[in-house]
Chain A
Amino acid sequence: MNANDVIDCYVTDVALQLPRKQRNDVAFELRALIDEGLRDKAEATGRAADAAMATEFLNAFGRPAEVAARYRPTLTIIDPADGHAFLRATVIGLAIIWVLGLLVRLLQPIDAAGGLLGALGQWWGSTVIPSLWWPGVLVVGFAGTAWTRRRWPQTSKWMPRAADRIHGGRLTLVMGIVGIACGLYTLVHPRWMLDFFWSGRAAPSAYAALTYADTFLESQGPWLLALLLLNIPMFVGVIVQGRWSPLIRRIQTGLGLVTCGVMAWTIADGPVFVAPVSDRTLKFFLGLIVVFTLVDLGIKRYRRVRPTPNILIQT
């Protein structure tokens, strides 16, 4: 390989990454400029240009992909300002998918022939590889947001917002109270749902499925009822004040944690319903509520900002 071959190779590698309409023209110019630069370098060093000298000269030029990229306007898929948010969402999302997939796989009977390694292999194939849809979705979402922001900058203009505002207004809280009242009634009298939807003509097995176990009625039931009831005065307080005051926020956090504790106790303790299928289903949903509540509380805590200096202020 002589110096000409090296230059040809480099120019081709640059040109191939350019749009077809400017490819040949740029290649022609670049070739001429490199020739001239290398000729001067050879004269300065007092020896004929060879492959080694050409390679050294072109390495100083930069990688062909970088040089080609400089010929075109900068293309930004995800705004640099969104880089950290994108990375965080990718890592957290993948971690959740992988952990849930692993739990589901480990809860299933492990094939004696394959053993644990076989199960991990199945998890890799059925969860980890397919989970790459998640970063893909995020790229599309972040890229769409960035494009919208550039196309219509006024839509992404920062607006001040009160931290203690009621999301959705007072009407949302009123609907929340109605929901809690329905939940309370269902908790006290679960068969009401069957009477409501089937006018009392549901199958006897359906009624049997919604029969509470005595142990639940004597232990966790009253606690859950009381904790649900406490949400009503809290919501009424927010409606009257028109905002989430710091005190009410603390009460909400405490109430949420205590409710999660009682729900966890309910899941771990004896049956809630006499029928095993109903019991398993309810406990599954209770588990989901506990997880979502704790995640929500964790996110709120993580997002809390308390301006404080990291070092002592000297007076």
Chain B
Amino acid sequence: MAVQKHEVVPIESSSDIVLIRQKVRGWATELRFTLVDQTKMITAASELARNTLEHGGGGKVLFEAISNGTRNGLRLTFEDQGPGIPDIEQALRDGFTTKNGLGLGLSGSRRLVNEFEIASKVGAGTKIVVTRWK
């Protein structure tokens, strides 16, 4: 997997979420994503950035323009050193019926991207990697 470009953006306030949305738009446009794909990726990033801020207590996101030989893609890695997620399975299963905001962003974002990986340790933090291919 070749990484052509990368950038780290901090997630410390709600205006960072807006900034990240704009950045994803920029990167996705450069990678020539279709409008729908762009919208999906930006929305997923917004959800995950908000999760990082509100449940992770703040963190950062790594932007990477990647290529696997035939296709180009955008990979975002959200990381925080927050409380972590005790039951990932459940967090991913919960739809919008729960009041617990955590489930909403995760399960939804998973459907908006092509690849979704999550690792979390209680007391240590959470790391989520999402990828969208052109």
Same complex origin of A and B: no
Q: B residues touching A (Cβ–Cβ < 8 Å)?
A: none
